[in-house]
Amino acid sequence: MYKQIGILTGGGDAPGLNAAIRAVVRTATGKFGMQCIGIEDSFEGILGETHTVKLSPKNVSGLLPQGGTVLGTRNRGSFVKMVDGKPVFTELPVCEALANLDILGIEALVAIGGEGTLAIAAQFHKRGFPVIGVPKTIDNDLAATEFTFGFMTAIDIATEALDRLHTTAASHDRVMILEVMGRNTGWIALHAGLAGSADIILIPEIPFSFEAIRRKVLEREAAGSRFTNIIVAEGALEVGTSETYSDRSELRLGGIGDIVRRRVEEMMGKESRCVVLGHLQRGGSPNAFDRMLGTNFGACAARALANGETGKMVALQAGKIITVPLEEAISNIKTVPTDGQLVRTARDVGISFAAPHEAELSEMIRVEGAH
């Protein structure tokens, strides 16, 4: 059993981070008698002049409904450098961080974050330092877990945005385009598109054609609907092209929504508007699901450390919280299966993915379903 453990949050903020921190502290101290030290600003807090704070059940009281992270967070920071557009881990910061952890008397670490944060945590594990990872990302793209906290709240926010855009689109006979996050996966766009009654969903897993978009808009107009709502994942791409970046040097996706808007206006002369939801998806209070999942993950992470596990990540599989090796957790990105139930359901209810042969695909699915 460890006397003192460290807790840090890394990567982009997500609803449920504070719920996870609270659960780690309450479980580690109350059930297992371990002291908790919060590391501020992700792994950067254990470099140079360290920045830490003692955490107790008293000072994490009231955190459950709060958005953001009381510990602060950073993307990449000193531990990862971009070389030819690819992240590369640097040796010196890890060695310095390990030395500082020893000075601070921190014997093990709970790292709460997404793929990048967990990849850095894996570097600590490789050097013999005990680590447990907690998955966090609104993108829900970690393959080893069915859900990550932050995802459900992001869906709620995107769905509400679609609901609001629906009324203004109908009032003005416009094509309204909502660009959402998700990196190279379409989970947010797909779930929110279904829940928010989008007419067209554009996701990275199904490259789209502008001709297919044009056909869907005309099809709706022929049926008496003079407006169209489109939700587009930031990583969506036209057939035969690559992703759109708002900042290529940082590999920051964004801008595809406005490209779709401009092309729709050029092709059809139809008034169109684009709304980029951006960081609104990551901020604010977590919904009930993300509070519960963050709490479950945090408690199970503390329990895993107390039981001597290391180099693992807590994960939700088949309704149970289990642990999986960190290397396995970060080895694959979970993408939307193009023949999966959600895509099938979307097509069944008349939503288009604007694939070049969308009509044929929808008919094929309909015939298969009939048999």
> What one-character DSSP code corresponds to residue 194?
H
**264-291 pLDDT, tens digit each:** 999 999 999 999 999 999 999 999 999 9
Which string of DSSP letters, residue by residue, matches 93-135? Answer: HHHHHHHHHHHHT--EEEEEESHHHHHHHHHHHHTT--EEEEE
**61-70 pLDDT, tens digit each:** 999 999 999 9
Domains of the chain: 4-149+285-331 (3.40.50.450), 154-281+337-370 (3.40.50.460)
**Helix axis angle, 17-30 to 288-306, nearest 10°:** 40
Closest residue by Cα to residue 106 from 174, 178, 53: 53
pTM to 2 decimal places: 0.92
- Are 80 and 90 spatial neighbours (Cβ–Cβ below 8 Å)? yes
Q: For the chain, how far is it from start to end, CA to CA, in angstroms?
A: 58
Enumerate the active-site residues.
139
> pLDDT category, 351, cuts 50, 70, 90?
very high
Q: Is the Cα dihedral 134, 139, 145, 148 positive or negative? A: positive
pLDDT given for residue 86 in this prediction? 65
Higher pLDDT, 263 or 248: 263
Q: What is the mean pLDDT of residues 28-51?
A: 96
Structure tokens that stand for 260 in this block: 């779709």
